Amino acid sequence: MSQQSQFSDIIPDVDKFLEDHGLKDDVGRIMHENNVHLVNDDGEEEKYSNEANYTESIFPPDQPTNLGTEEYPGPFNFSVLISPNEQKSPWEYSEKLNKIFIGINVKFPVAFSVQNRPQNLPLYIRATPVFCQTQHFQDLVHRCVGHRHPQDQSNKGVAPHIFQHIIRCSNDSALYFGDKNTGARLNIVLPLAHPQVGEDVVKEFFQFVCKNSCPLGMNRRPIDVVFTLEDNKGEVFGRRLVGVRVCSCPKRDKDKEEKDMESAVPPRRKKRKLGNDERRVVPQGSSDNKIFALNIHIPGKKNYLQALKMCQDMLANEILKKQEQGGDDSADKNCYNEITVLLNGTAAFD
């Protein structure tokens, strides 16, 4: 007699009984953790709950329930550790600033530590990028148009809904939540494993796939990553913040920001009078959208591509500015598309 038949002799509809009594998720979790399968009347094994339902039932909500910016070690003394990089590598960590300076698409380790963790409480790490400045905190942090384009090398073999995220995690169990098109904040959630024998931290590898300087993305705005320790209901048991700058010269930028921080009072600049020409404000009119053809010759493919990229960045800034002011950006988008086709082979805007 099969296991399912044995259950059915006592309870006619096992699934309905478990669901009515609020036991379905608990039984599914226990059976999943212990790799238990039911056997049907034909002798074939069946999983009690499919992978999609299991993931949906045990993972925290897709949006952070308590996204604060205050450090909170919580009841388990949650901590996030990034070791200073002692080897020559494209990332640097500043203990003074609690900030990582790193190149794009570079993987780096983050160690998570909890103390007195209950054995029967599944815990999760949520990584949510936010803008540091108060006036931008409510804005969603997402990748720029160029980097989230399907033709970008970093998007090969990646699910389309991940293209928007500036952070990626090497953990195969990580889930990517949020959508900038619906106003849902982008974040990553992954299960927090137990440390290996002889260790007291769990290491996970992350990477950033867009730069702080990218127009139509972070657009030179500083960001933090908020790491929260949560259970499967989204209750926060700890919170830590790490500053991030994704750049081309991590060591140079780190040294500069540390030096700026040590300068308590910035030097005062002498005010100078504005001339009449400088006071004059040029009104924006239809001439702003006039299209000019640029026909020049540039020696060297590298120089040619750099010139196109400079024009692309300039237009991206114009598009962003006009979107913020509610202006007409159609002409800028058309020109941006022309340049993007020359660079990537396909347009950025539909």
The whole-number average pLDDT for the span 121-129 is 96
The pLDDT value recorded for residue 309 is: 74
Q: Based on the domain organization, do 102 and 47 belong to the same domain?
A: no
The DSSP result for 224-286, as a single string, is EEEEEEE-TT--EEEEEEEEEEE-S-HHHHHHHHHHHHH-SSPPPPPP-PPPHHHHPPPPP-G
Q: What is the mean pLDDT of the chain?
A: 79
Q: Based on the domain organization, do 209 and 330 belong to the same domain?
A: no
CA pair distance 342, 311, nearest whole angstrom:
12
Q: Based on the domain organization, do 258 and 340 belong to the same domain?
A: no
CA pair distance 23, 31, nearest whole angstrom:
12
Q: Based on the domain organization, do 258 and 156 belong to the same domain?
A: yes
Domain that holds residue 167: 79-262
Residue 95 lies in a domain: yes
Q: Is the per-residue pLDDT at 17 higher than 70?
A: no
28 pLDDT tier (thresholds 50, 70, 90) = low
Q: Based on the domain organization, do 52 and 162 belong to the same domain?
A: no
The percentage of residues in the chain with a pLDDT greater than 90, rounded to a whole number, is 51
Q: Based on the domain organization, do 49 and 92 belong to the same domain?
A: no
Residue where one domain finishes, among candidates 212, 241, 262: 262
**For the segment 166-218, what is each residue's pLDDT rounded down to a tens digit?**
999 999 999 999 999 999 999 999 999 999 998 999 999 999 999 999 998 99
Beta bridge partners of 245: 101
| Contact (CB, 8 A) for 224 and 329 | no
Residue 72 DSSP label: B
**For the segment 71-82, what is each residue's pLDDT rounded down to a tens digit?**
999 999 999 999
Nearest Cα neighbor of 63 from 206, 224, 176 is 176
Q: Is the per-residue pLDDT at 66 higher than 70?
A: yes
Residue 68 lies in a domain: no
Residue 272 lies in a domain: no
Residue 230 lies in a domain: yes
Q: Based on the domain organization, do 110 and 247 belong to the same domain?
A: yes
Query: CB 249: neighbour CB atoms within 10 A?
Result: 13
Q: Based on the domain organization, do 31 and 159 belong to the same domain?
A: no
Residue 71 lies in a domain: no
The number of distinct structural domains making up the chain is: 3
The pLDDT value recorded for residue 335 is: 78
The whole-number average pLDDT for the span 309-326 is 71
Was 247 annotated as part of a binding site? no
Was 147 annotated as part of a binding site? yes
Task: Extract the tokens encoding 85.
Answer: 């990089």
Q: Is the per-residue pLDDT at 316 higher than 60?
A: yes
CA pair distance 244, 139, nearest whole angstrom:
17
Specify the residue for token string 């090497």: 170
Was 144 annotated as part of a binding site? yes
State whether residue 103 is helix, strand or coil.
coil
The pLDDT value recorded for residue 278 is: 43
The whole-number average pLDDT for the span 129-149 is 95
Residue 72 lies in a domain: no
Q: Is the per-residue pLDDT at 238 higher than 60?
A: yes
308 pLDDT tier (thresholds 50, 70, 90) = confident
Model-level pTM?
0.65
Q: Based on the domain organization, do 129 and 200 belong to the same domain?
A: yes
Was 132 annotated as part of a binding site? no
